[in-house]
Amino acid sequence: MGAVRSLGSMAVSKVKFPVSLSIVILFGLILLSLQLMSTATTQESSELSDIYSWLLIGNSLGSVVLFVLIGINVYSLAKALKKGEAGSRLTTRMVSLFVLLSIAPAAIVFYFSVQFLNQGIDSWFNVEIDKAMEDALELGAESLDQRKRLHLKQARKLAKQVTGKSQTLIALEMDELRESTGATEIALFSRQGRVIASNSSDPKDILPLLPREHVWLHVRRNQEYVAFKQMDEGELLIQIIVPVHDDEPRYLQVLFPVPVRIADLTDSIDFAFVRYQEMTFLRNSLKSSFLLMLSLVLLLSLLAAIWVAFVSIRHIVSPVKELVRGTQAVASGNYQRQLPVIRQDDLGFLVESFNNMTQRIARSQDEIKAASIEVENQRAYLETVLSNLTAGVISFGASYKIRTANQAAYRILHIPVSHFVGQTLLDVIVLHPELTQLWESIQKLLEQAEDIWQQRFTFLGPNGRQELLCRGTPLFSPSGERVGTIVVFDDVTDLMQAQKDAAWGEVAKRLAHEIKNPLTPIQLSAERLQHKLASELSEASARILQRSTQTIVQQVEAMKSMVDDFSEYARPSKRQVELINLNLLINEVLALYILQTEIRIITVFNAENIVIEADPVSIRQVLHNLIKNAQEAMDGKGQIEIKLNKVKRNNAEYAEFAIYDNGCGLNESQLETVFEPYVTTKVKGTGLGLPIVKKIIEEHGGVIWVDTAYNEGAGFIIQLPTAT
């Protein structure tokens, strides 16, 4: 061991100087690269090429040196692995892990650096600046075009003023006309282009500016000519030629000056835009140069880090070799193995901890055997208790995976939950999608609820609609850490239905007693008042009395109808169940609505001869209520689509009936209360149509819900068990 340590120290001493020198060189190159990056932005492209060439040569030499040093260490490590030396595999894993940990953040930093670099350079050539330059050009052009349009109007006005005048009179008025518009020159030409009269602001200009041949061709073809004219002195003029409609066609040419400031600004914008485009041309070469420099710095940093990792890990692993041998002894079952403590540092503390660990492991073996026997006995006892409960029980681990499930869970849910031990509820959905809503809701409560929770759920079972009362209780370890959850659920379908029927029956009795009985005396009293007092009052008072009593009678009748509807809703239905062909029943009901030409009814039957066991009168009432609601939602005009299909849920077959309309639809607040009594948005509605539909469907073991995925109007989906 002493020889090994001396060789290790010699190896370290041999590599100490090159490592330090390499690190110094590396940092120097990085600083130099950063300095070059800072100055490169102000250099011309030819100077940048020279700088990058020297930088590439220097970094390449540094990379080669680091590659050679790393290669030597890799070769030494490979030889140690081949000989099976203790600690060689640990060194390999640590070096590999360090390399991976170095590459991952370096790659991330490199990626975002490249993004930052590209965005930084692009920000020098901001799109907003491009847009500003283009807008400036467009603004200058628009300003000049506006001036051209203004002067064209002035020229047309001048043409009208000289129309019908003699040549002599026009020649006398030329100066006045020119000064009234601020023109530089004005001239009147004959159809052949001969000068008839002219006037200029410069007395030295005897002859006017003569249009060229292509100008005359344009004038004769388009009647008007407007263009900018650059004079020899650098002055910019607007040349306008318009026709003068006389007996003999003539043409009036007007030259308007462009202000020197506007011309200078236009030239300045053009020059700045061209210069900016030249600068933009060098953007890609600048990006490539910075990317190359950044790549070389990254490569040097990674190589230096890997080299330092080899040296550091070799020093760390040297005393760990003894721990490897001790671990091998413990793995073979020798828990009495004690290692000598040579160093009084962190590694020495690790060796002492290893010795204490082996002693505790030896003492814990007997305790573990006794505890395992006790745990097995408790597990058998718990399984016996759970299997005899009538309530379903499912236990979950800390990661919300199923640990146990009793037989009652299978009887209630009709799926073998115990077969999915080790999986989450979301995994069960894959094989049993019919319980998707139930499982997703319970999974969400498991993940979010911190305390005991209780909630009621509704789902479709093989025998129809079921209601579950679920209670969840978190489980904690003695240290207070949450280790799982237990969910207990009971099938309360029959109980809830009985409570609901009893509650509505009691409400109906009270309404009939408290409201309906006084309505008849109120109505009779109002009619008696009208009958007795009508003849004794004046005509105006008699009319007021008649309207008032009529209002009382109408409202009393409305209240009677409302109480009757509510009593009908609360009263248990007297069903006469029989086998019904749902396809034929729907067609019979729809035949009553075919004559309404403004409403188009579309039927899509994806299955024929769907037979259900139900009361035909009640099912007809359901269809009429839904179709009537659709008509009222569309205001008597639109399209109703009816779909019929067979679906399988929970190993049972259901008839699925859907009705859609393109009316006003339902908002988000209405979705929550659409099936509650006396909830309506209609002026004359009682709010009992959909609750009665829901009651009938549930009495037949089915379920109804709003299709929230339908956005064109309102859609309802009904599922009823088919006849077996």
pLDDT in tens, 622-659: 898 888 888 888 877 888 899 999 988 767 888 999 99
Token code pair at residue 519: 């309505």
From the list 464, 413, 386, 387, the residue with the least C-alpha distance to 654 is: 464
Structural domain contains residue 158: yes
Quote the number of domains for the chain: 5
Per residue in 68-94, pLDDT tens? 878 888 888 888 888 777 777 777 888
Which domain does 247 fall in, by range? 143-272
Q: What pLDDT was estimated at residue 658?
A: 92
Euclidean distance between CA atoms 234 and 266, whole angstroms = 14
Position with higher pLDDT, 394 vs 40: 394
Mind listing the pLDDT tens digit for each residue in 149-160?
787 788 788 878
Segment 94-105, tens digit of pLDDT: 888 888 887 888
Residue 199 · residue 174 · CB < 8 Å: yes
Final residue of a domain: which of 272, 296, 313? 272
Q: Please say if the pLDDT value at position 510 is more than 80.
A: no
Average pLDDT of the residues in 566-591: 79
Q: Which residue has the higher pLDDT, 572 or 8?
A: 572
Do residues 671 and 639 touch, judged by C-beta distance below 8 A?
Answer: no
Question: Could you report how far apart the first and last alpha carbons of the chain are, in Å?
Answer: 85
Which helix or strand (DSSP H or E) is residue 48 part of? helix 45-83
Please indicate, yes or no, whether residues 182 and 95 belong to a single structural domain of this protein: no
Torsions phi, psi of 221, nearest 5?
-85, -40
Give CA 87 to chain center in angstroms.
Answer: 51
Q: Cα separation of 349 and 341, whole Å?
A: 8
Distance (Å) of CA 432 to CA 173, 436, 438:
100, 7, 11
Crossing angle for the helix pair 283-331 and 2-40, to the nearest 10 degrees: 160
CA-based radius of gyration for the chain? 48
- Reading the block at residue 522, the tokens are 């109120």
Residues 590 and 697 in one domain: yes
Mean of the pLDDT values across residues 346-361?
76
Evaluate if residue 23 carries a pLDDT over 60: no
Residue type, 401: K
147-150: long-range pairs with CB below 8 Å, 24+: 147/238, 147/256, 147/258, 147/262, 148/226, 148/228, 148/238, 148/240
Asked if residue 365 belongs to a domain, the reply is: no
Q: Is the pLDDT of residue 281 over 80?
A: no
Asked if residue 685 belongs to a domain, the reply is yes
| Lowest mean pLDDT, pick from 265-269, 291-295, 413-417, 680-684 | 680-684
Q: Tell me: do 466 and 506 sit in the same domain.
A: no
pLDDT band (50, 70, 90) for residue 10 = very low
Domain contains 371:
no
- The verdict on residue 450 lying in a domain is yes
pLDDT at residue 426 is higher than 80: yes
CB 185 within 8 A of CB 200: yes
137: in domain: no
pLDDT at residue number 36? 60
Mean pLDDT to the nearest integer, 265-269: 68
Q: What residue type is 360 in one-letter code?
A: R
The average pLDDT across 436-465 equals 78
Element (H, E) at 579: strand 578-581
**The pLDDT value given to residue 566:** 65
**Are 306 and 251 within one domain?**
no
pLDDT band at 234 (very low <50, low <70, confident <90, very high): low
Q: What residues are paired with 600 via a beta bridge?
A: 639
Q: Are residues 592 and 607 in the same domain?
A: yes
Mean pLDDT value across residues 206-224? 79
Q: pTM higher than 0.75, yes or no? A: no
Nearest alpha carbon to residue 458 among 469, 466, 448, 449: 466
Whether residue 408 sits in one domain with residue 322: no
Tell me what pLDDT residue 21 has.
66
* Average predicted confidence (pLDDT) for the chain: 75
Residue 5's pLDDT is 36
> CA–CA separation, 69 vs 89, rounded Å?
20
Is 57 in the same domain as 178? no
